[in-house]
Every structure is written in C-alpha cells, then in structure tokens.
Amino acid sequence: MKILITGGAGFIGSHLSDKLIAEGHQITVIDDLSTGRYSNIAHLEDKPGFRLIIDTVLNSALMEELIRETDRVYHMASAVGVRLIMEQPVKTIETIFHGTDTVLKFCSRYRKRVLIPSTSEVYGKGISVPFNEDDDLLTGATDKHRWAYACAKTLDEFLALAHWKETQLPVVVCRLFNTVGPRQTGQYGMVVPRFVQAALKNETIEVHGDGTQSRCFGHVLDVVEGLTRLIETPACFGTVVNLGNSEEVSINDLAKRAIDLTGSTSQIKYLTYDEVYGDGFEDMQRRVPNLEKAKRLIGYQPTRSLDDIINDVADEMRGTPSESKMHA
C-alpha cells in the first residue's frame, strides 16, 4: 500500500515508518523537522519505497496532492512536550488544529483511511482512574496555557468524529498515554529520556513537583503495533481508543529505577512547578488508561515493561541500541 505519515521524522512517526517499510509498503513522510529529526529516518532514505518531503502539513496544495495519491494516512505531526506548550501556546494550537483540519478535509474529499492520534492530556483533571474513552473530560481555566494542548487535541477529536458522523469518513482516534522509547528527546520536557540521560552522566535528576504524581509509560514499539491494527480494523472507525501501558509508576520511583538500572550515582533534586514553568502551572496527579477497548477491538496487549523501556533508552544513549528491540 501507499501510506502517508505526517510528522514521520518524529519519535513515534519514525518507528512507524520503520515498521511499515519492513512490511513492504511505500511510505511518504512529510515533516518540517521543527521537532522531528532527520537522523530518525536517515537510515530509510536508501530503502526502496521510502520518500521524505521536508515541508509543513499547513501547505494545503501539497497535502491535497499527497493524500489524493495515498491509501492510508497517519497524522502524527503535532506540537509536542509540556515545555513547548507552555512557551509557545499559539504555535501549539495553530499547528495542531490547522494541521488536523487540513488532513481531515482532504481525507474526506478523497475517501482515505486516516488515523488521528490524540492524547491522555484530554482527560485533564479527571479523577476516575483508570480513564475510559467515554469519560467526561475536565480541563483547567483558559488562562492556564498548560491546557492548550489538551483542548486543541480535544477539538481534533470532535472534528474527526464529526467527519465520521456526516460522511462516514474511515477515521479512528487513539489517545496515547506517555509513549516512550529510543529516539525520544528530553528537549521538550519528556521525563524518561531526561532522567536516563542524567543518570548515565551521574548528574542530578530533577523531579518537578513532589514526585508523587504517577504515569503509565508505553513502549513505542508496542504503540506502533497498535496504531497499524487500529487503522486496518473497520470496527474502530468513528471511535476513540486508548493506547499505552497500564503499569503505573510514581515519578519518584521512575527516577529511582533510572538510577538503579543504569548503575548511576545520581541524586534527586525537587523543583516546584513554578520554578520550572512559571506561575500557574497545573498537573494531573494520576494518568492511567483502561485498555480493555483496545484489547477487545484489536487484541492489543503491551509486551514491554517499564524496565525494558529504560534499558532501551539507556542503550541508545550509550550508543549500543539493541537491534532486536529497535526494529522488532
């Protein structure tokens, strides 16, 4: 098949590109390299059936041409990371919504299957853990920029499902819960690569807040397997599906595991949210997915643990990534 991946030079998009090229598909990646990295997909440039276009999804004429000639669209392009969201809220909102609007418009026009990734951030201040896809959503006040990402992604979901309702566009929305693994950068505040990098250098690990907040981290290779199953399963069209891992860990324990698994002598330092992000930052205490819907619809079952994730990230940072894990 011919497959278009927006944001295909990014962390998740590049692993998705690896998988689909290995399966024999013809892949076109469009990425402006604003947060993606050429190094993530450089090894694919000489592969038959791979094409890279360095441009933005906001280029409407180009996107129409690319979508018209493809069979599947994975819209992975997005603004990423808490730090970027806090520092550039206008770019966050415009990139997310206008990009998704462009993709959905042309997928609808040419009747193309499309996957729209969303985020666990849309659950906001929800306290009904684990989070179910049909839960009510509760975010913070609009003057708290931290919620701009969640609200923009929520609007993406509404728009995608509206296309399904009005024209039966074959679209599926997946809410990703803290996808991590090799190639992820700590540049935008991503906690796992930031902790592992500090541990490998025996530098102080900075925990934001008191560290009691918890998250569930899904290995990128488990997640991309789920993404490809979702878009190929008609029963998923017009639905929202959680993807990730339900293994919950506090940020304190995550820091300790990064230290233990790397044999580090790092110490842990605590910084208030105001020190890191400025006044008014709000966080979620817990973020745990209910994965029963994904299991029922596509047989989704994560196979890699948090320790596997930390070890894979550490191996890559040391320059000795496991080929079996990187390209499984």
Helix (H, G, I), strand (E, B) or coil at 2: strand
Tell me which H or E stretch contains 289.
Answer: none
Local structure of residue 128 (DSSP, 8 states)? S
**Would residue 74 show up in a list of annotated catalytic residues for this protein?**
no
- Give the β-pairing of 50-53 and 171-176: unpaired
DSSP conformation letters of 182-203? TT--STT--HHHHHHHHHHTTP
Structural tokens at position 297? 């619809």
Number of neighbouring beta carbons within 10 Å of residue 202: 13
Q: Is residue 80 a contact partner of residue 10, using CB atoms and an 8 Å limit?
A: yes
Active-site pick, 74, 123, 149, 188: 149
Structural tokens at position 256? 């300790």
Give phi and psi for 9, each to the nearest 5. -95, 5
Residues noted as catalytic: 149
